[in-house]
Every structure is written in C-alpha cells, then in structure tokens.
Amino acid sequence: MALNDFMKESKIFEKREYLSPHYTPQKLIYREKEINSIEKALAPSLKGERGRNLFIYGKTGTGKTSCVKYVVKEIAEIPSAKAKISYVNCRMYNSRFRVLSKIVSDHMPTYAKRGYGAIDLYEKLTNWIEEDNKILVVVLDEIDVIKDLDDLVYTLTRINSDIKAGGVTIVGISNRVSFKDDLDPRSLSSLYETELVFPPYYATELFAILRDRAAHGFKKSTYDDEILHFIAATAAKEGGDARFSLKVLSKAAELSEERGFDHLTMKEAQEASRMAEDDVVYDMISVLPEHQKLVLYAITLLTNSGGTYKKLTDGVDTYLFSGEVYNRYKSLAEGLHKEPKSERWYRKYLSELYMQGLILTYESGKGIRGHTKLIKLIHPQDKTKEVLERDIFGVQQHGDRPKPEVLD
C-alpha cells in the first residue's frame, strides 16, 4: 500500500481510540460494584484522614487499571479533596528510587530534576506532606514487578510513622494474588490493607462492552452482533479478558479494511482471534517471575519429550506428574546457576500458572503413584516453548542464536 492509501478516511473506523484497551470510557460497564469499593476505600483520604491501604487483584483484562483510573479522575474533579494522587506504572518505574522520583516529579517537578538520592527524595516527600497535613495516595500499577518491593513498601509505610499528621495510602494493583508472599515479614506487618478481587468477565458482559465500544468506535452499519458475540465468546474462553476482546475487535476491523471490505467480516474476526491468542500467550508469559517461567518451561519440555516417569495421555491431551515437573525445574535452575525454590514455593508457582490460564491441574486420586497432582499445558507446546526460550535465554524466533545446552 502507498502512503496515500493510509491517509484516506477509514470506511470502518469512526473514532479508533474507543477500541483501545487503554481508553477509559465515561461509564465502565459491569464494574459499578468494584468502583464503589475503591471509592469507599479512598474516602478517608479525600477528607484528609489516613485510610487503609488497598490491594486490587485479578487476571489481565478484568478492568483493574481502568476502574482505578476512573476513580482517580473523579477525585481530580473534586475541588475540596485533600488527597494528592500519584499514578505509577511500575513497568516503567520498577524500583524504589524510580517510584520515589516519579512521585516527587508529579508534585515537585523542579526538585525532582536535581539528581538527589532516595534518602533526599524521602525527606523532601515527608516535609511536603507535613506542610499542610495532606494525604498522598500512591497508585502502584503492577506493583509485583518492582525489583526492591520490600524497600519501597517499608519506605512508604515508614512515612506514616515519621510524621505527626497527614500520611500515605498505597493502592497496589497486581495480577498475582500471592505476590505479598514474597514480602519480608517486616514490610508485610506494616501494610494494614484491604483487598479487592476483580472477577473475569462473562461472555454476556464482554458482548455488552464490545457493543458499547463499537457504537462509538465504528461507523454505522459496519458490524453486526453476530461478530461481537463470536469475539465475546472467544474472549470468555481466554479467561474473560476484556483487553483481548478489544484487541480482536480492532484487528478484525483492520484486516477487513485492508482487504477492501467496508464492514467487519466473520472470516477476518476468526483470523484476528487466532493472532490475538498468540499475542496473549506472550503477554502472560513475559510478566511471569523468573522461577515461574522455569517451571512452565519444564512443563513444555516434558510435554514434548516425556521424562523419567511415564506421562499419561488419553489420546488427545498429555498429563504430567507434578514430581517429574519439579525435578526438571530444579535441573533447569541449577543449569542456570540459580538456587531452586522449595517444593512449597513450587506448589505456589503451579497455582499462579493455573490462575494465569497457562496450565490445568488435577488431583489424581488414589491409584496413580499414590495421590499426586497431574499437570496439563493449555496453549500449544511449540509456541509456549518458543516464547519462553526467547524470554529466558534470548533465543530468537528464527534461530539466529544457538540453543543453550541447558534446554534439554
């Protein structure tokens, strides 16, 4: 296509931004209850009182970030609110120093550019809060990816001990329900938090979301409910992920337009769905902690080649013994000169992988080597293995780097 072709007015899109997963609509459908819970949790801060910290959990695409941003926008429009808010994307600001710098930059931009260290930033932040007894609400989106999370949690909660009035309230957002298990007991004891879990969307809810976005994002008569129902059902099978459904919808429109249609077609929607499924596997795997990646990699290797114990199969699916997976994980970790985690941590990793929709687990019952857990890989073995090798070892898709000896 020539550049002029890209400059032409779209036959399908009206306002493309409405189809973006990052767009926050004026009304968030099927999340009124969760929004009310966030508002209730932050109400004391708006009145200048110290409230409890809030931790929000849920799978990717369940509306966690959108709901928090929605409430943050509401707060910004309240002139009498005594709370100051900093929203921090922890993928970009992934250390204590970077988070403190972001907070100071939000509220004292001139000072933040002077190149001070973490202690200086802490003291400046503490003094700023004490000036007029304000409450600072720090939203940490994807809090679990912060490298020195213990230090950050201790630092932010310590402010409340070091000042006489005002304070800090933490709002943490995470895909991992058990991420706090990694915290030092000292940090954990200082949190005093409320928890909120976002459930996945049902197919009917996803359909309503897609219909609302399509009504604003597409020109009239360019789509029909059949396609929206198909995408909603597909996304529901992927774990109720609204981001996934929006990605499929937008990609389906792009493919349809590229191929000369002036409306969305089912064939292009099906193709967009397959493409998005590959993307979602990468997105889920890329955010896993290192040892969870190694456990998942052990599962992909055994799914392909088997191991010391005989793997179970019903002619369609392959099931692996938990003990064999753990042994392969230990070998991988040792091959990378990393200390393998205990079986207790391993069991937690399996639970996290299950929650992320990457594996299925079953209790075998009596009769199969005693009572053991059976594990099955959900997504295609070759695709999962490819993504993990690229993530863990830096192996490129087209094999332009040799495969490390530790792989098998």
State residue 51's pLDDT score: 83
State residue 405's pLDDT score: 37
Helix (H, G, I), strand (E, B) or coil at 89: strand
Q: Kindly list the strands in the beta sheet with 312-313, ordered across the sheet, starting from the edge strand earlier in the chain.
A: 312-313, 318-321, 373-377, 359-363
- Which tens digits make up the pLDDT trace of 316-347? 567 899 999 999 999 999 999 999 999 999 99
| Kind of pairing between the strands at 167-174 and 53-57 | parallel
With a cut of 60, say whether residue 3 has pLDDT above it.
no
Domain boundaries, the chain: 32-197, 201-285, 288-407
With a cut of 90, say whether residue 397 has pLDDT above it.
no
State residue 112's pLDDT score: 62
CA nearest 24: which of 204, 209, 175, 199? 209
Please state the separation of Cα 315 from the chain's center in Å: 34
Question: SS3 string of 282-351?
Answer: HHHHHCCCHHHHHHHHHHHHHHHHCCCCCCEECCCCEEEEHHHHHHHHHHHHHHCCCCCCCHHHHHHHHH
- Which tens digits make up the pLDDT trace of 132-141? 999 999 999 9
Length of the chain: 408
CA nearest 236: which of 261, 281, 262, 273? 273
- Which tens digits make up the pLDDT trace of 150-177? 999 999 999 998 998 899 999 999 987 7
Is 102:87 a contact under the CB 8 Å cutoff?
no
With a cut of 80, say whether residue 12 has pLDDT above it.
yes
Spatial separation of the C-alpha atoms in residues 317 and 43, rounded to whole Å: 50
Strand partners for 171: 54, 139
- Which tens digits make up the pLDDT trace of 87-128? 999 989 999 999 999 999 999 988 766 678 889 999 999 999
C-beta neighbour count of 355 within 10 angstroms: 17
With a cut of 80, say whether residue 8 has pLDDT above it.
no
Pick the CATH number of 32-197 from 3.40.50.300, 3.10.580.10, 3.40.50.720, 3.40.50.170: 3.40.50.300
Average pLDDT, the chain: 86
With a cut of 50, say whether residue 402 has pLDDT above it.
no
State residue 408's pLDDT score: 34
Domain 201-285 belongs in CATH node 1.10.3720.10: no
Looking at the chain, the whole-number percentage of residues with pLDDT higher than 70 is 89
pTM of structure: 0.75
Instruction: Give the CATH architecture of domain 288-407.
Output: Orthogonal Bundle (1.10)
Spatial separation of the C-alpha atoms in residues 395 and 346, rounded to whole Å: 25
With a cut of 60, say whether residue 56 has pLDDT above it.
yes
Confidence of residue 401 (pLDDT cuts 50, 70, 90): very low
What is the mean pLDDT of the segment spanning 261-271? Answer: 96
Confidence of residue 403 (pLDDT cuts 50, 70, 90): very low
State residue 368's pLDDT score: 52
- Which tens digits make up the pLDDT trace of 354-395? 877 788 888 765 555 555 789 998 888 888 898 899 888 875
Is 138:173 a contact under the CB 8 Å cutoff?
no
